[in-house]
Structure 1
Amino acid sequence: MSTLTGTLRNIWEAFFPAHPTPTEQAINTVLLVLFALTIAILVWQEVSNRRRQDEVRRTLMEAAPVSAEEFLENWRIGRRGSGLGYGATDEAGCYVIMTDPVYDEAGKVSYEAVYVGQSIHVAQRVRAHLTGHGNGDVYADVRAGKPVEVRMVRCAPSDLNATERSLIAAFDATSSYNRTRGGSKAR
């Protein structure tokens, strides 16, 4: 412990000598200002990221959830080419598949499991997950009869990576079914 204390004292004295010259004072001031600016920038970035995550989550949660059963039933309504159903309105976007919603006393909802993804054809990709051609954990939940909700948010292909990353962070999906933090598709 005394070695650590001595080392810290030596580092302190190297940066802040007892009687600094004007040049040393100027250097120390510049270093201190740069350090403070770096900390301020890091804090600003963290606050901005959290605001974006909150905004994306809020936007997604404002949309009405669709159960997995309802999604699959409404995949194609009517005859082929009718323009009805999720299969006919496929666009670029991100999706969140949520299993087993739990509501607390305040009415806030949390989920047993969450999976977030993106696709140029978002409805097709969601259908793939729900029918066993995507994430195996999601399909296992559907097959087990657990309540599964789907929420989709449409966005431009150029925004898919950023939106997916924000949703994964907002729903803490890496502690659930997502293996990565997302946003790795080159578009």
Structure 2
Amino acid sequence: METGLGSLKEYQEHLLARIRDSAANGAATSYLGMVVAEERWAVRLTDVSEVIPVPTLHTVPLTQSWFLGITNIRGSLYAVADIAALIGRGHAPLNADTRLVLIHPRFRVNAGFIITRTLGLRNIPLPSQPPEKEEVSWITAEYHEPDGKVWKELDIRRLVSDPRFLDIASPRLTAAG
């Protein structure tokens, strides 16, 4: 008998393989739709390795308030950030809808971030425009739907190279140093 976890992992691998095949054949880019700080965000699905329920998090003392701690995923440690708190928009709720998005290994960062909830897979063929008054470089575009919904595109490569994301030390330590 197959476990639910094995089935889910196989399903995710199959889905990612289909998306990679579509991308290789010139199809539209697929995104994971998600809610962060009550806004619609999208991240390229090829930049994500997994989306899972939030596992047990182990806090790390003397770190930024947006750094939630570390977790063990199948024997590997991952740093976990609250992206909403990182950009100063309050902490994401930790409930049944909250998910942990793990960054793809090609970025060489064992890290993930929590989101309020997923909105499923999206193809975003709408023309993009530069984001309005974003304070971070890793929100690279906005997409406006005809019904007024706005999607913000999260660029993982920029996120993992942003000094704010990389500096998890408490401001008290930085000021004292």
| Greater fraction of residues in strand | 2
Greater C-alpha radius of gyration: 1
TM over 0.5: no
| Greater fraction of residues in helix | 1
TM-score band by shorter chain is under 0.3
TM-score (norm 1): 0.27
TM-score (norm 2): 0.28
